[in-house]
Amino acid sequence: MTSRSLLWILPLLGLMAALGFVSAQDNGILPVPAEPKVAAKVDLPAKSFAETLEEEIRIPDEKDADLFTLEKQKTTFEMVYVPAGEFLMGSPATEKDRGENEGPQHKVKVNAFWLAKVETTWDMYDLWYRNKDLPRRDEADGAFEAKNSGGKLGPDAITRPTNPYVDDTYSHSRAGKPAICMSHHAAMVFCQWLRLKTKRGYRLPTEAEWEYACRAGSASPFGFDESKEKLGDYAWFKDNAATDDHPDGTTHEGGKKKANAFGLFDMHGNVAEWCLDQYDAKGYTEQAKNELAVAAFTKPTEKKWSHVVRGGSWIDGPAKLRSAFRWPSEVDWMRKDPQFPRSVWWLTEMDMIGFRVALPVEEYPELVGLKPAVPKKGR
């Protein structure tokens, strides 16, 4: 079945109600998701588990961008249980390729949580990005202006991204591959949508959670014993990411390299990963003032820049794949965006950035009720 892109204003309201959505207006002209309410503590056994989601999504026509086909898509993603523990966060002054923002090393306590086994794939991301029943904010506001004298969606309404100006995969392909090039805000809204769907407190991992999970008990620069094993056994990076179709390197299907001691794949390389934290160059110095940092994170704000990226990617060398490497996002990552204001959803320069989701067993009090804070319009 082929439909014009404006058909989102004719949602299946009964289905939407069953999924926990409510109408933004009494006349029901537009589906607006309710703000997700989730428990601060997850009632699940302390072991890995899988989630399965199914949505009807829009598959764009290859020749006409105004046309699409509706298709049901089911995706299962696995969450790996990571037990609570303590570790030294950051790198020692003697570590090769160390950056100044990786110290001072400080002892951190991490509560138990689950982390996605692999990076978020396009199959999973498309359940939100191409969701049939979620409007783009530009579409939604236009409908309200036409029928409701300029009314707007509420600030907590979950919308899907506007379309990027280029191929969203940057020719890296989709099947089994990690989703790429989304902004930190887009990753945050995806997690908010996932909370709505599952009624569980999914979010991005904090820097401390990410590094703890990446190290998996190792104090070496990588999450394995360098004297016994090689980076290429665990990671897609500049030395091994090339293919016949992509001689300069490309993304790869998750889970094809070795897992670390926690059972997590691609913590080094493939795509670099968003963390929850607003970047704070002095954050480690502040945390190191405590003998044991318990809530070691910097809560994100309404500022679009900067946030923390970890793990390195298919295009990077070993230095950026180290467990302690920190990379703050920069406005320059949007320099080719032709819009004004620039997109709040997509990065035009970073086809090596993705993310994976985390689920705390019990949320830190400061993060209860966490939701995206960046204004919906880019800047």
Q: Which helix (H) or strand (E) holds 207?
A: helix 207-215
DSSP line for 100-143: GGG-S-EEEEE--EEEESSPPBHHHHHHHHTBTT--BHHHHHHH
Q: Is 99 exposed, middle or buried (0-12, 13-18, 19+ CB in 10 A)?
A: middle
Position 219 scores a pLDDT of 95
CATH number reported for the structural domain that contains residue 214 in this entry: 3.90.1580.10
Task: Specify if 26 maps to a domain.
Answer: no
Residue 150: predicted pLDDT: 47
Domain that holds residue 92: 36-51+76-367
| pLDDT reported for residue 155 | 61
Nearest 5 degrees, angle CA 371-CA 196-CA 299? Answer: 20
**Does residue 177 form part of some domain?**
yes
What DSSP designation does 312 have? -
246 is a domain residue: yes
Is 198 within the bounds of a domain?
Answer: yes
**Contact yes or no for 312/303 (Cβ under 8 A):** no
pTM to 2 decimals?
Answer: 0.88
Other beta carbons within 10 Å of 194 = 23
Q: How many domains does the chain have?
A: 1
Asked whether residue 1 is assigned to any structural domain, the reply reads: no
Cis omega before residue 306 (within 30°)?
A: yes
pLDDT (tens, 9 = 90+) of the chain, 379 residues, equals 444 333 333 343 333 433 444 333 333 334 556 677 899 999 999 999 999 999 999 998 887 867 889 999 999 999 999 999 999 999 999 999 999 999 999 999 999 999 999 999 999 999 999 999 888 866 655 544 444 434 566 666 788 898 887 889 999 999 999 999 999 999 999 999 999 999 999 999 999 999 999 999 999 999 999 888 999 999 999 999 999 999 999 999 999 999 999 999 999 999 999 999 999 999 999 999 999 999 999 999 999 999 999 999 999 999 999 999 999 999 999 887 776 678 899 998 899 999 999 999 999 999 999 999 898 664 4
Contact indicator for 112, 352 with CB cutoff of 8 Å: no
Domain assignment present for residue 90? The answer is yes
| Domain membership flag for residue 22 | no
In a domain, 13, yes or no: no
